[in-house]
Chains A and B, each alone.
Chain A
């Protein structure tokens, strides 16, 4: 190198280096032994090479090439080929793998020989990743689509099949004898009758509407129900580009629904029959009894003096039996009316109910010289007249079942050993009367069940059965605790708020 030309040569080399270094692309120039001659700073930053200068460094020291792909590529280029690729992986030693688009060409020295290669690389890792993500998501969607037990057919705006899953193919084949083919018109698969209603829904979907229908098909001897829906398919700009048609077999659900309706109908019928029976019991059966009593009265009035011996006594027994049967019938009617004549639930202050109950029982209380203590009671959502009947039955039982020589004592209040939860309250009615053996604690709530002879304690045995019916209509419970000779406690558990208010059972 001569002194005169040296600065100019230097400056040429220097500016070329600068030009390469600041190129907004990853470019490297290597010699035939694949050592770097120069590289753009973008090359260093793209491949995470933190060196002041790559000059003289061996490419192989920084990049792995396990498969030998790059070695063979370099070889071809150094033999004079010009190569490029849209994407290949390149791995940094002990580091990341990049996905690059690249181009390589040999460079020639002044002697015309290949002096090395120039490699241009474009990092496509991010692009590759998003492509992979897209492929995964497509695969997932395809799996969902194909493995769904619901039929799916995707149609374009002309009704041509874009995609169809295997369930849809099986179903349509079974239904119409033809399976939809991708690219073919879906209308070709259906009979005309179905096509007409399908077209209407299809057009609504194209306008952005979704339709859902339940439809029954005959499949041989069987009946099959499908829920069919058509909804629009949108592109990114929210323009309708097709219609998604889906069908799900709801035959089982339909059968269950039908069964339920049948049972409901049967139940309603039974209830009606019960109500009719109650009316018959109250009216038609009462009628002959009334006459037995009336004519017994007339015999006594007109011919009483002609009866001799046991005659008047027998006549009295006839009248009494008729009276008792009449009472049984009215109580049976009251029992059946708990369910059929119940009123809607409303907040009921049991304190007020007790005031009314005591006023109704005032005569009995005075007559028996009873002491009735009422502690503060809660307000519950209930049928007011049934609450009255419930408490009246319990208090009047407490008054009734006490030894003849003893004034009854009755306590009404919140239950002492309460099993109540936050939603329930427990009210107890306690007496110190004759009590009962614990083994009868359940039986006393059965209709017509009595523990005592009619002569000692009168009654039809319906009072507690009515109580239990009232409590159960209010979604509560009633239980009894008794000790013979010491008394009985009746505990009613009632919900404070009723869940079903408008339509009590």
Chain B
């Protein structure tokens, strides 16, 4: 497993504090993978379709997993999720919703849209680090993903 290419993570998160905290938690969990950040649903789709500022495959590698915030400006996480899961090319990329929401409705709706996992962010930073660690172990070590 260790000789495998490190998984490229795409983080869709509009809040700079949360970007910082999530990246920090990823580093704490020793998931020093390539992390790219997009700030809203529109940018996320541009990235995945290599449009606009993401035309160069070198700066926009296809992600192995997408960490998705639900509430983002312009196009929110639900809309982006729905588009990703309807696209035959993109639907195989695992999408993990990482949100502060605990709303039952959000959980049901995102699973209906085809999310691979719904994670409510733990309140403390240590909790977040632990959660990211578990997510990392599961998705990057245990699970076999399509090449």
Q: List 30 A-B contacts (CB under 8 A).
A: A283-B100, A283-B101, A286-B100, A287-B15, A287-B100, A290-B100, A290-B121, A290-B123, A291-B17, A291-B21, A293-B123, A293-B124, A293-B125, A294-B17, A294-B21, A294-B124, A294-B125, A294-B128, A295-B17, A295-B21, A295-B125, A297-B124, A297-B125, A297-B126, A298-B21, A298-B24, A298-B125, A301-B125, A323-B123, A326-B123
**B contact set with A: CB distance below 8 Å:** 15, 17-18, 21, 24, 100-101, 121, 123-126, 128
Chain B residues lying within 8 Å of A297, measured Cβ to Cβ, are 124-126
Q: Which residue of B lies closest to A293 (CB)?
A: B124
| B125 → A minimal CB distance (Å) | 4
Residues of B within 8 A of A287 (CB): 15, 100
Residue of B nearest to A297 (CB): B125
Instruction: Find the B residue at minimum CB distance from A279.
Output: B103
**Considering only CB atoms, which chain A residue lies closest to B101 in the complex?**
A283
- Tally of chain A residues near chain B (CB < 8 A): 13
Q: Tell me, in angstroms, the Cα distance from A298 to B124 when the chains sit together.
A: 10
Beyond the given pairs A283-B101, A295-B125, A301-B125, 14 more chain A to chain B contacts, judged by CB atoms under 8 angstroms and listed by A's residue number, are A283-B100, A287-B15, A287-B100, A291-B17, A291-B18, A293-B123, A294-B17, A294-B124, A294-B125, A295-B21, A297-B124, A297-B126, A298-B21, A298-B125
10 tightest Cβ-Cβ pairs between the two chains A and B: A297-B125, A294-B125, A291-B17, A294-B21, A290-B123, A293-B124, A297-B126, A298-B125, A297-B124, A287-B100
A57 to chain B, nearest CB (A): 107
Q: Within residues 248 to 305 of chain A, which ones have a CB less than 8 A from any CB in chain B?
A: 283, 286-287, 290-291, 293-295, 297-298, 301
CB closest residue in chain A, given B126: A297
With a cutoff of 8 Å between Cβ atoms, the chain B residues found around residue A326 in the complex are: 123
Interface centre among B15, B121, B126 (most CB of A within 10 A): B126
Most central of B18, B121, B124 by chain A CB within 10 Å: B124
A471 CA to B121 CA in the complex, in Å?
Answer: 33
Interface residues of A (CB under 8 A from B): 283, 286-287, 290-291, 293-295, 297-298, 301, 323, 326
Of A291, A293, A294, A326, most B-chain CB atoms within 10 Å = A294
Looking at the assembled complex, report how far the CB atom of A35 sits from the nearest CB atom of chain B, in whole angstroms.
Answer: 111
Chain B contacts for A286, CB-based, 8 A: 100
A290 to B124, CA, bound (A): 7
Write the chain A residue with the least CB distance to B129.
A297
Taken together as a complex, chains A and B put the C-alpha atoms of A291 and B20 apart, in Å, by 11
Complex CA gap A191/B72 in Å reads 62
Nearest residue (CB) in A for B123 is A290
Most chain A Cβ neighbours within 10 Å, of B21, B24, B123 = B123
> Which residue from chain B places its CB closest to the CB of A326 in the assembled complex?
B123
Could you tell me the distance between the alpha carbons of A4 and B13 in the complex, rounded to whole angstroms?
150
Expressed in whole angstroms, the minimum distance between the Cβ of A298 and any Cβ of chain B is 6
> What residues on A are CB-neighbors of B24 within 8 Å?
298
For residue B128, which residue of chain A has the nearest CB? A294
Cα(A286)–Cα(B100), bound, Å: 9
Q: Bound state CA distance, A291 and B17, in angstroms?
A: 7
Q: How far is it, in angstroms, between the C-alpha of A301 and the C-alpha of B21 when the chains are bound?
A: 13
Smallest CB gap from B28: residue in A: A301
CB neighbours (8 Å) of B18 from chain A are: 291
| A293 proximity list for chain B (CB < 8 A) | 123-125
How many Å from the CB of A294 to the closest CB on chain B?
Answer: 4
Residues of A within 8 A of B126 (CB): 297
Q: B21: which A residues are within 8 A, CB to CB?
A: 291, 294-295, 298
Q: Smallest Cβ distance from B46 to chain A, in angstroms?
A: 26
Q: How many Å lie between the Cα of A17 and that of B121 in the bound state?
A: 126
A203 to chain B minimum Cβ distance, whole angstroms, is 55
Nearest-CB residue, chain A, relative to B21: A294
**How many angstroms from the CA of A208 to the CA of B76 in the assembled complex?**
63
A295→B24 CA distance, assembly (Å): 11
Q: Which residues of B contact A291 (CB under 8 A)?
A: 17-18, 21
Docked Cα-Cα span, A297 to B127, in Å, equals 10
B101 cross-chain contacts in A, Cβ below 8 A: 283
Determine the residue in chain B with the shortest Cβ distance to A301.
B125
CB distance from A265 to the nearest CB of B (A): 26
Contacts of A294 in B (CB 8 A): 17, 21, 124-125, 128
In the bound complex, what is the Cα–Cα distance between A286 and B126 (angstroms)?
A: 17
List B contacts of A301 (CB < 8 A): 125
Which residues on A sit within 8 Å (CB–CB) of B124? 293-294, 297
The CA-CA distance from A287 to B124 in the complex, in Å, is 12
Contacts of B15 in A (CB 8 A): 287
A290 to B15 CA separation, bound complex (whole angstroms): 13
C-alpha gap A348/B123 in the complex (Å): 34
Once the chains are docked, how many angstroms separate the CA of A103 from the CA of B125? 123
